[in-house]
Structure 1
Amino acid sequence: MSVESYLKKHSEALVKDVGIEASCALTGKSKATLGRYYSEQDEHDDRFMPIDVVAALEGAARFPHVTSALADLRGITLSYDAEKRNSASGGVNADVVALAQRFAMLMAEYNQAIGDGVISGNEARRLLRETLAIQQVLLDMKLNLEEEAG
């Protein structure tokens, strides 16, 4: 998949996450204009969503689709967890427990997903969510260990 196609797919996911009507209201753009930003048709090859439109939509979305795609293209891993902003850490022991719990959830999701021998798109997204949750726990653990190491 080309970079252009990759960005267009994530732009489309962002608009669909927010909803087309809500996206129009947030950005002041028409449905047709938003559609052109992620259209794969040749006449729209050079059209991409402006950064102010991305910012407005990602502010309302459940996930920063375009930001995540841009980071992925650069080999950067983002940590996104809207539920844990400014939450207090329970320390390394709590992190170990959380890691074990998250790993168990990942294995349960995997077991369910592979049951029919094929991992569907929805199953892959659930596995990805659990993988990202494990990544967040590991990051918290790393920070707690660094703090304890002084």
Structure 2
Amino acid sequence: MAAMGSYLKKHTEALVKDVGIEPACQLTGKSKATLGRYYSDHAEHADRFMPVDAVAALEEAASYPHVTAALAELKGISLSFDENRRNTKEKGGVNSDVIALSQRFAMLMGEYQQSIQDGVITVNEAKRLLRETTQLQKVLIDMKLHLEEETGDLSS
């Protein structure tokens, strides 16, 4: 449970930072201190988690559903968006997605190569790798949506 709690807290922090602390306070009606407690890794806050209604309000404003995606990953579920959230304004279909996928993967591998050079991946390096992984995941979701659109299969 401790590892799962820590994982959820890290994604809660990513969600709040994605939206911004001030807007997050306004959207949830919570103070900065309260929001901070939801993702604090201190022992006294180990059992505090953000309420679902606050998560929903923040994920509506965020660029990515960080907490929902984390919950899905913990359960072995993959998500796809029901609204179009393109990585770029370009509409080229699957061919453009393949190019974007290649570019994102190259960026991830570049980050990995830099991170592993000294044999240790630091916390900051891990955060950069996580950001690139998340961006790669977004491209894959776009590609999945395009493939479903082209095949007429919207039931995966």
The TM-score bracket by the shorter chain reads: 0.7 to 0.9
TM-score, structure 1 as length reference: 0.74
1:25-64 alignment to 2 at 5 Å?
25-64=26-65
Residue pair 1:105, 1:130 contacting (<8 A) in 2 also: no
TM-score, structure 2 as length reference: 0.71
Paired AA for residue 82 in structure 1: R
Residue pair 1:106, 1:131 contacting (<8 A) in 2 also: no
| Identity percentage of aligned residues | 45
1:80-122, Cα deviation, whole Å (9 max, x unpaired): 45238xxxx97xxx52x23431343135424543367548332
Q: Distance in 2 between matches of 1:99 and 1:57?
A: 28
Larger Rg: 1
Q: Distance in 1 between matches of 2:100 and 2:35?
A: 37
Q: Distance in 2 between matches of 1:30 and 1:116?
A: 36
Q: Give the structure 1 partner of residue 140 of structure 2.
A: 134
Q: Distance in 1 between matches of 2:62 and 2:148?
A: 29
**Structure 2: runs of 5 or more not aligned:** none
Paired AA for residue 79 in structure 2: L
Q: Distance in 2 between matches of 1:54 and 1:131?
A: 20
The size of the alignment, in residue pairs, is 139
Residue pair 1:79, 1:132 contacting (<8 A) in 2 also: no
Residue pair 2:85, 2:142 contacting (<8 A) in 1 also: no
**Structure 1: runs of 5 or more not aligned:** none
